[in-house]
Structure 1
Amino acid sequence: MLIPNNPDLDFQELNRRIEAEVQRYKLDTRERPMPAFDPSPAQVFDRPYRWMELIQLEDEPLLLAAYPSLLGRKAERSEIQRGLHQLRSGFDKFEVLAGLRYSPEGMAHGTEVHGLRKAKLKNTLRRIPVFGKLLLSGYALASIEPRSRYYVARMDLLTRQIKLQNDGLAQQRDLLESQRDLLEDQKEQLDNLSGYLQAQQRALESQNVALAQQTDYIKRLELSMDQQRLIQQELRARLGHLERAPRQIATAPADLTVVATQPAASNLVPSSIPDSFYLAFENRFRGDAETIRERQSYYLPILESIEPLTAGLPLVDIGCGRGEWLNMLPDSYARIGIDLNSMNVEACHEQGLKAVQQDALVWLAEQPENSIAAVSAFHVIEHLSFEQFNILLDQCQRVLAPGGTIIFETPNPENIVSAATHFHTDPTHIHPLPPAFTEFLVEFKGFEHVEIHRLNPIPREYALNEDSEVARRCDALFYGPQDYAVTARKGQS
């Protein structure tokens, strides 16, 4: 509690503010962060202060703020040094402020002040030689008791403020300790969780290894099952070949001018080679079903423009094999497979596909005119003689509906490697068909919109690694498309 020893100051109001501040500090239990260390002055003092703000300052901040407040200007460094010397020599700060306020410059500025009468009087007495000092000594003796009470009250206030600050620091220290304990508990929990996650990760890795092993085992099992299925098919074919008499197929008629009105016959001679041989041969050299489907997917967009096919007429696939192409067609398309190999026909039936074991030329000759939407034949026409190829095109012109389409794919002899080696791997191939010849023959037979599609080139990484005319020609001859297809439509007339 402040002792009212200066009649010019409202000590009651000051005490009330101090107590209110102390109570606010006690009630404010919010967690306060520690202030950051900043050696620079926390406040700018070279500006005018109100009088009640000014007298709260001490030492150099007091002087820095007094000159702008009382004289209206900043203090010179020499003036600051002189004022500090006075304050630190025992002068009261009110005496220093009075000296500034009642100087000629201060009187001219005219700042309103309170409680400087005693300080002004002391400054006036100090200027009187000898007698002034005696008067000051008497005044000091008379003021000892009130001043002592003032300092005791101030020390008491400071003591209480320090205690409150210490209590606050103790609370913060306790809070920090509890937070540190909480962090240690959380760290321990995180360590336990990390150990658990690591154990789970190791278990998951073990499961992944076991799953990979099971996947490999399943793949090996599926491969073994595929091999067993092929073996069973070959065995069934061989058994059927032994149980039935050799198949006799009539030769083609000598007069080819009547094939349009009489059933056409194949010129294949009776063979003692069982169906199982051709099935095993295709399994070895033609490629797996997925590879075949990937290559034949090229033709699916062509089917979308065939109006008779979308109208419901069937697509006939000659030499349908294992049914890869038929299986790729949308369910909305009618489709029929034709194949001489009984095992291929049986494989199609097992997949729910309609297939007929018969010579394709004979089957086509039995169909009515304009009854088929499309005829496809993948790697078939190279097995036919020139006469058979003519018959096939004539029959297609007859049975296809207007707008119907043929799709014939065959090895491309423009690729020298395919023509010289791969073509002759199959002993039933007769001779390569150059694209120019096939295109001419199809046009000659009256088909329209004849197109040649060169397909399945050798992968680029196998080509010559140089840029020259010789390299480009070698790439075209040795690494070009291995197959080509001819597509054509029957006219509307």
Structure 2
Amino acid sequence: METSKSTDGSDYTERLARLQQPLWKRVLDVQAPYRWNVRRLFGDREVLDIGCGIGRNLDHLAPNGVGVDHNEHSVQICRDRGLKAFTIEDFKKSEYAQPGRFGGMLAAHLVEHMPRPDAVKILESYLEYLAPGAIVVLICPQERGYATDATHVAFTDLDGLEDVATQLGLSVNKRLSFPFPQAAGKIFTYNEFVLVAQKA
């Protein structure tokens, strides 16, 4: 039975959709700085977005993003919006599941939803699809954002993200607080820890 802590049901997908619907968010284009940041970090690389949800970052990466998510309801919303997204099983059968295909991998708001060893295991399973030198970006919410979601399991700061990257055998290039300095993360829901790493 689904609970408030589940990320695999239709209720979770509906919650994500509700969070993006308010008119003020669309009028003010609140995603503009995040869109700029993701595009700046990846450039024109083809990016595999792990835990793509309903496609916020796939929108930012378009047309170079391919998403994977365990929630079939979220994947369907992505597809309905014309984005390239797959369930885990469907991705493995797709034309995109080719060794070394992607120049980048994004895991935004994924790691905090599970114990760290589980996050490492999931991300490790996609490393084969990355080309040598691929950029890997890991993003987690800061304190205020972490507290707003009952499905969050493990608070993960920059040191935690660096630990994930190290366990994956990646070299760390950059550690950022975005869009504001880290102190803002205690009061601003949408401040993020951003770690940029690279596959050898």
TM-score grouping bracket, smaller chain normalisation: 0.7 to 0.9
Amino acid across the alignment from 1:431:
A
User: Is 1:302 aligned with 2:36?
Assistant: no
Amino acid across the alignment from 1:379:
H
In the alignment, what sits opposite 1:447? 170
In the alignment, what sits opposite 1:339? 69
Written as runs of structure 1 = structure 2, the 5 A alignment for 1:235-250 is: none
Deviation, structure 1 residue 316: 1.3
User: Is 1:327 aligned with 2:59?
Assistant: yes
**So what's the TM-score if we normalise by structure 2?**
0.75
Deviation, structure 1 residue 346: 2.2
Deviation digits for residues 13-63 of structure 1, max 9, x if unmatched? xxxxxxxxxxxxxxxxxxxxxxxxxxxxxxxxxxxxxxxxxxxxxxxxxxx
Residue 384 (structure 1) aligned to one of 105, 114, 119: 114
> Which structure has the larger Rg over C-alpha atoms?
1
In the alignment, what sits opposite 2:155? 432
Deviation, structure 1 residue 358: 3.0
User: Is 1:395 aligned with 2:134?
Assistant: no
- Distance change (3 Å), C-alpha of 1:449 and 1:434: closer
In the alignment, what sits opposite 2:30? 291
- SS, match of residue 38 in structure 2: helix
- Distance change (3 Å), C-alpha of 1:393 and 1:346: closer
> Does the aligned pair in 1 maintain the 2:116–2:154 contact within 8 Å?
no
**So what's the TM-score if we normalise by structure 1?**
0.34
> Does the aligned pair in 2 maintain the 1:293–1:324 contact within 8 Å?
no
> Does the aligned pair in 1 maintain the 2:137–2:194 contact within 8 Å?
yes
Deviation, structure 1 residue 443: 2.9
In the alignment, what sits opposite 2:12? 278
In the alignment, what sits opposite 1:406? 136
- SS, match of residue 347 in structure 1: helix
Paired-residue identity, %:
21
Deviation, structure 1 residue 389: 1.8
Deviation digits for residues 117-136 of structure 1, max 9, x if unmatched? xxxxxxxxxxxxxxxxxxxx
- Distance change (3 Å), C-alpha of 1:456 and 1:400: same
- SS, match of residue 49 in structure 2: strand
> Does the aligned pair in 1 maintain the 2:51–2:110 contact within 8 Å?
yes
Deviation digits for residues 53-105 of structure 1, max 9, x if unmatched? xxxxxxxxxxxxxxxxxxxxxxxxxxxxxxxxxxxxxxxxxxxxxxxxxxxxx
In the alignment, what sits opposite 2:195? 486
* Matched pairs, number: 188
RCO higher in structure (CA 8 A, sep ≥6):
2
Q: State how far apart, in whole Å, the 2-side matches of 1:441 and 1:479 are.
A: 26
Q: State how far apart, in whole Å, the 2-side matches of 1:358 and 1:393 are.
A: 12
Cα RMSD (Å) of the superposition?
A: 3.3
In the alignment, what sits opposite 2:85? 355
In the alignment, what sits opposite 1:5? none
Greater helix percent: which structure? 1
Amino acid across the alignment from 1:380:
L
Q: State how far apart, in whole Å, the 2-side matches of 1:476 and 1:349 are.
A: 35
Deviation, structure 1 residue 355: 1.2
> Does the aligned pair in 1 maintain the 2:38–2:60 contact within 8 Å?
no
- SS, match of residue 343 in structure 1: helix
Amino acid across the alignment from 2:88:
Q
Deviation, structure 1 residue 479: 4.9
In the alignment, what sits opposite 2:50? 318
| Long gaps (5+) in structure 2 | none
Amino acid across the alignment from 1:319:
G
- Distance change (3 Å), C-alpha of 1:276 and 1:400: same
